[in-house]
Structure 1
C-alpha cells in the first residue's frame, strides 16, 4: 500500500492532430494523442484532463476543455477529443494533459492558432451604401451596421469579437489599416472590414465602400434600397439609405418630403427619390428611381350592389399579376369551387376576392363588395294606404300605392299638408314619398292626397305619418 501511494506517472507532451483549430457551430471536434508510463500505477478513479492555456500560451488562467470518465483510459498511448470554448481567439494557444490519481501534468504542446468562429457570414457596413464622401481636409466615418436583422448578422452582436479594416491596393490585393468596429477615413480608396479570426479563413467580412474627397461642388450621394430595386412590397417597407453626413433632406419626384431628415428614409411607394446631404464645408446629392413590383388589378363591380333573388351578378377581376391565384369568400368563408378570375354570385351577402401573385414578388390585393336584395319599388298592393312610418326600418317607410296609379300610367298625384300646402305634385310617382326628413314630432302628422287618373277618375283621402 505504501508503494502504491508514492507511485508516480510520467505523461508525455500532447501530440496535436491539427496545425490550427478553426472551430464553428457546425464543426468543433479536435484530437490529441499522448503517452504515459507506467500504466500500472493508474488508480481506478483516475481521470485525464485536457488543460488549455490563454491566447498567449500562459496557463495561469487555464481552462479545462475535456475530462475523461474515471478509469476509462488505462493504456498508453491514448487519444482524446475536445472542443474549443466559444471565446477562443488567438495564435499561440497550448494544451497539456493532467491526471488525477496519481496527480501529474505533462509538458506543454507546441503552440497553435485557435478561433471559434461564432459569426461566420457576410455583414454590412455603411448601411450597405457603396460610396462615401468627405470635404477637403475632413474625414468620413465607416462603421459596422448594428443591430443585425434577417439580412445582416451583425458581428457587433458578439462582444468577444474584434475587427480589422483593410484598404484595397488592387483588384485582389489589400493592406491592413486599423483595428476596431469603426474606421475614420481621410484618404480616398475602397475599404472593408473583416472579423479577426487570425490565420483562419472565414466568411465574416463586409461589403466594400469607396470613399472620395469632394474638393468642390457636390459629391455623389449613393442611395440603396434595403429590399433591392425593383422591390417587393409584400416584404414590407424598404429602407432607403445614403452616405453619412451632418444633415439630410429627402425628396420624392422633386418635392420635399416633410420631416424626412435622417440618413434613412422608409417607403412602400414607387417614384424618383432624391436626397441632399450636408457634409459640412461641402454637400452631396443622389437619386434613385425606385420601382415597386406590386401588380395592377381592377374589379368590374362597385362596392355595394343590389339584385333580385332570381338574378345573379357576374364579377370579373382584371390583373397584371404573374401566375395569379384567386380566392373568393362569402361572409368570410372560402368558396372552394371559386378559383378563377370570374365568379357568378347568386347569394346575398358580403364578398371578398384576394388576388395573389405567385411568381417572383409574392404579394396580394383584396377587393370587398356586397350584394343585397333589391327593393321592389312597385309591389302589387290592393288599396291606397292611409298610414306610413318613415323610420328607416325598410318597413312601410314610403307611401306605396297600387300600380295603376304609379309611374307610366299618366296619373297625377298631389300630396298636401294639413294646412293645404302642396308638398308633392307629379305625373310620374315612384312610390318614394317622403324622400326628405319630415321633422316628425311626438304628434302624428296628417297629409291629404288627390289622385287623378288619365280618364279623370279621382281618389281622395288622408295619410297619417307616425314616428
Structure 2
C-alpha cells in the first residue's frame, strides 16, 4: 500500500510538471500597417503576450517566422531569433528587419518559442516590399516624344545599362514593372506589366517599379506618343549629359526615337557616317536627325550647348529709354560662382560686376557670364538701348551743333529712325557720303569738322515701304 501511494504521488508531480512546462503565445500585434522597406529604413516592431512567463526556461528563444506572399507558412522564413533567455516578461516587443527580396501584398508573421516549444496564430496580413531601387529612371532614352506610323506600333523600353546618369531598375533581377497611360494631368490607368510596352494607341505613357501599395520614387519619365497624321512628322532628341552640358567632362550622346534607319545633320549639313540611333559629339550646334519609321518618317531637332550652365536676361535685344528713366538689366544663371562683366559700346564698364546693371544712357551693351568652377565656360548677351526720340512732324533743314541743346542734332520724324529699317544717307557738297545707315539714332552730326561757313549737306531718306524723301541740311554754328 505504501508503494502504491508513493507511485501515485510521483505521477501527480510529473503531471503537474508537464502542465507547468507549457506556454501559450497570443496573436502577434503588428506595429505597422504595411512594410515599405529600403536601404534607409528597414526596422519594424511586433508585440505579443505569452503565459505563463514562469514556464520559460533559461535557454528559450522567441523566433519570428515570415510566410510567403500569400500568407502560407509551408516553408516559412526566420527573420528574427532572440538571444537565449533574453525575453522573460509579457507582453514583449521584438524588432526585426525584412529580407531584401520581399515583395507582395499578403504576408503574415507568427511567433514561436523554443523552450518550451509553442507557436502563435498568424498575424493580420500586410503588404511588404523592399525598395532596392527607389530613384527615378529613364525610358525611351529620355526622349520626351515618339511617333508611330498609322497602323503600326511603337516599342517603349526601360533604359539599360545603368550608370551615373541612370540608376536602371533592370540592374535588379527581382524587380517587376507596371506601365500606365495618362487619362488627365493627375490620373492614369494601368496598361500592362513587363520590361517593355508595345504602344498602338496615341497617348502619354510612363513606367513604375512594382512596389504594390507602397509609394515609391522609382518611376520613369513620361513619353508622349503620337500616331503620324502624314508621311512626315516631328519628334525630339535627348542629350545624355543634358543641354547645356559641360564639354570638359567629355562628349555627350544624342539619341533619337527608334526607327528603321537614321541620318544625322549638324547646322544643316549631313554628317557622313552618322546613321545610327545615337550620335556622340562634343561640339555645340544645331543638330537634327531624320528617322525612317517604315511607312512614314520623323525629323528631330536640338540646339545643343556645351557651356555647362543656363542663363537668361530680362531685357529685349532693342530697348527704348525715356528721358530721366533707368533701365535695369538682370541676368539669371545656373552657373557655379558666376562672374559678371558689363560692357558699353565694347568698353568695359568699371566696377560693374554684379548680376544686374542700371542703365541711364543709350548705347550697345553686353554682359559676359563666366563659370570657372567645374566646367570653365562663358556665355554672353548683347542688347541695345536707344533714347526715345521726339516725334517731330517735319524733316528739319537746319542743324546748329553748338552745345546749347537746341537743334544740336538732326532730329527727324520717328517713323524714319532706329527700328524702322529706313535707309538714311547724308552727302556733302562734294558728293561724298558722310552717313549711310538703316539704324539712324537722331545723332548726326557727331564729331563733324568743316572749314566752310554754314556748309550745306544733302539727305536721302528711303523708307522700307514708302516714298523716298530728299532735301538739304544747312549746318549753322
Could you say whether these structures have the same fold, taking a TM-score greater than 0.5 normalized by the shorter chain as the test?
yes
Deviates more, 1:29-38 or 1:221-230: 221-230
For 1:99, the equivalent position in structure 2 comes to 113
**Structure 1 residues 294 and 62, CA gap change in structure 2 (3 angstroms):** closer
Instruction: State the partner residue of 1:422.
Output: none
CA distance in 2 between partners of 1:259 and 1:63 (Å): 57
Deviation at 1:36, TM superposition (A): 0.8
Matched, 1:217 2:225: no
Q: Is the 8 A contact 1:221 1:277 kept in 2?
A: no
- Residues 297-321 of structure 1: CA deviation (Å, up to 9, x unaligned): xxxxxxxxxxxxxxxxxxxxxxxx9
Return the offset for 1:248: 1.2
Do structure 1's residue 293 and structure 2's residue 300 form an aligned pair?
no
Equivalent-residue separation in structure 2 for 1:250 and 1:116 (angstroms): 43
Contact kept, 8 Å, 1:4 with 1:41, in 2: the verdict is no
Q: Secondary structure at the match of 2:248?
A: helix
Superposed CA offset, 1:162-202 (max 9, x none): 11110000010110100111000000000001111111111
Partners of 2:182 and 2:377 lie apart in 1 by 45
Report the more deviating stretch, 253-262 or 211-220: 253-262
Residue aligning to 1:16: 30
Q: Residue 147 and residue 19 in structure 1: after superposition, are their counterparts in 2 closer, same or farther (change >3 A)?
A: same
Find the counterpart in structure 2 of residue 203 from structure 1.
Answer: 217
1:363 aligns to what? 376
Say whether the 8 Å CA contact 1:233–1:293 is kept in structure 2.
yes
Structural mapping, 1:135-150, within 5 Å: 135-150=149-164
Give 4+ residue runs of structure 1 displaced > 3 Å after superposition: 1-6, 321-324, 357-361
* Matched residue, 1:175: 189
Mapped partners of 1:59, 1:359: distance in 2: 62
8 A contact 1:234–1:364 mirrored in 2: no
Q: Please report how far the alpha carbon of residue 226 of structure 1 lies from its aligned counterpart in structure 2 after TM superposition.
A: 1.8
Structure 1 contact 221–275 (Cα < 8 Å) conserved: no
C-alpha change, 1:253 and 1:12, in structure 2 (3 Å) is same
Preserved CA contact (<8 Å) 2:179 2:191 = yes
Partner of 1:72: 86
Counterpart CA distance in 2 for 1:247 and 1:5 is 82
Contact 1:162 1:181 in 2 (8 A): yes
- 2:54 corresponds in structure 1 to 40
Question: Cα distance, 1:4 vs. partner?
Answer: 4.5
2:167 matched residue in structure 1: 153
Gaps of 5+ in 1: 296-320, 325-356, 366-467
Shift of 1:5: 5.7
Q: How does 1:4-403 map to 2 (within 5 A)?
A: 4=17, 7-293=21-307, 323=339, 358-359=371-372, 362-363=375-376
Superposed CA deviations along residues 373-408 of structure 1, whole A, max 9, x for unmatched, are xxxxxxxxxxxxxxxxxxxxxxxxxxxxxxxxxxxx
- Aligned-residue offset at 1:292: 2.1
Partner of 2:355: none
1: CA distance between counterparts of 2:275 and 2:374? 30
> Max radius of gyration: which structure?
1
Judge conservation of contact 2:244–2:308 (CA < 8 Å) in 1: no
| TM-score when normalising by structure 1 | 0.63
1:280 offset after TM fit, Å?
1.1
